[in-house]
Amino acid sequence: MNKNNKVDIEEIKNYLLEQIKINNSDIDRNIEKIRKENSVENLKNALQYFRKLVDSFGSYIYIKDNNVEEKFNKEKIWNKAKNWIKHQPDYKFLTSFYDDLSKNIVHSAKSNDTSERLFFYFLNYLSEIKEIAWNRFSLKLIENFDILNEYVISNVKEYNKKIADKLDEQIKNNTKTASIFIIDKTPIFWKKKNGLYYKVTFSTIEEYNLDYRNKKNNIIAYSKIDFKLGYFSKISYIEDSIEIQDRQLNFYIITAYEIVIQESDIKYFINTIKKTRSFDKSIRTKRNLFILN
């Protein structure tokens, strides 16, 4: 290495490949411990290696895809790679994964807590990494992935498993429609074939209030759709139910949705009406007409 700590591209490639293999080995080792010891601590220990794998693997993609010829400081290449990756549709999930891991490593160290929903996201991200690594570079990564998946799923609440199975049935009889504002989404399950399954929180157009939100008016539904938050949308939905401990649990399934307008546009529209006072109808009525037409 020269005095500027920069090395040529072939050395960088070899270095990154070696780091990928080392981090992958550490991940598989910690996952194997999960099976033997049935301990979430091993899962938390694996988080730091997930992050290191994203760093080395993302940097390797950057080098390979850009035919980079310049010399690099191999300890700092991830900074360049990250700025490039976040603009690439196929790879930008790596930056989200890296940032989530960075936050969660600190959080779990302080609070001794790592939420279930994050591990569903992590399963989804790791599955994508595995697929890209094999399809693009013939690299076998995270060979103990199924063990990790089984451990996470084994700790999922029974009703979430049953709801996920209902979502797979794709029943579209007696479909109804509604106009809603999407507030939040939380993953409740993950399957390799279909990805993430979500619990969706929303309010109806009629109940939406620009100035404050009453949580009592929120409605819960479930879906395999990866919704964008903060939008007014038109949805198709059905009503369904499952049996839990001899009781019937009723719920909604969203089968399709279409974005209508962003919340910021509604705020602009309402503020304009308040200033002009150009209609006699209530602002809420005008807002609803604006959204629905």
**34-59 pLDDT tens trace:** 878 866 677 778 888 999 999 999 99
pLDDT confidence tier of residue 68, bands split at 50, 70 and 90: low
110 vs 225, more confident: 225
Burial of 17 (0-12, 13-18, 19+ CB in 10 A): middle
pLDDT confidence tier of residue 243, bands split at 50, 70 and 90: very high
pLDDT confidence tier of residue 213, bands split at 50, 70 and 90: low
Q: Which residues pair with 195 in a beta bridge?
A: 191
State yes or no: pLDDT of 1 exceeds 70: no
E-strand stretches of 45-140: none
pLDDT in the model for residue 91:
96
Report long-range pairs for 247-254 (Cβ below 8 Å, ≥24 apart): 249/159, 251/163, 251/220, 251/221, 251/222, 252/219, 252/220, 252/221, 252/222, 253/166, 253/167, 253/171, 253/221, 253/222, 253/223, 254/200, 254/221, 254/222, 254/223, 254/225
269 vs 120, more confident: 120
pLDDT confidence tier of residue 289, bands split at 50, 70 and 90: very low
Q: Is 232:202 a contact under the CB 8 Å cutoff?
A: no
State yes or no: pLDDT of 108 exceeds 80: no
State yes or no: pLDDT of 210 exceeds 90: no
Q: Which residues pair with 219 in a beta bridge?
A: 202
Out of 92-101, 211-220, 232-241, pick the least confident: 211-220
Report the chain's mean pLDDT, rounded to a whole number: 82
Q: Is 224:138 a contact under the CB 8 Å cutoff?
A: no
Gap between the Cα atoms of 156 and 133, Å rounded = 28
pLDDT confidence tier of residue 256, bands split at 50, 70 and 90: very high
State yes or no: pLDDT of 4 exceeds 80: no
pLDDT confidence tier of residue 205, bands split at 50, 70 and 90: confident
Report helix angle 9-37 to 40-66, nearest 10. Answer: 160
pLDDT tens column, 263-282:
666 665 555 555 555 544 55
Q: Is 32:147 a contact under the CB 8 Å cutoff?
A: yes
Out of 85-99, 140-154, 277-291, pick the least confident: 277-291
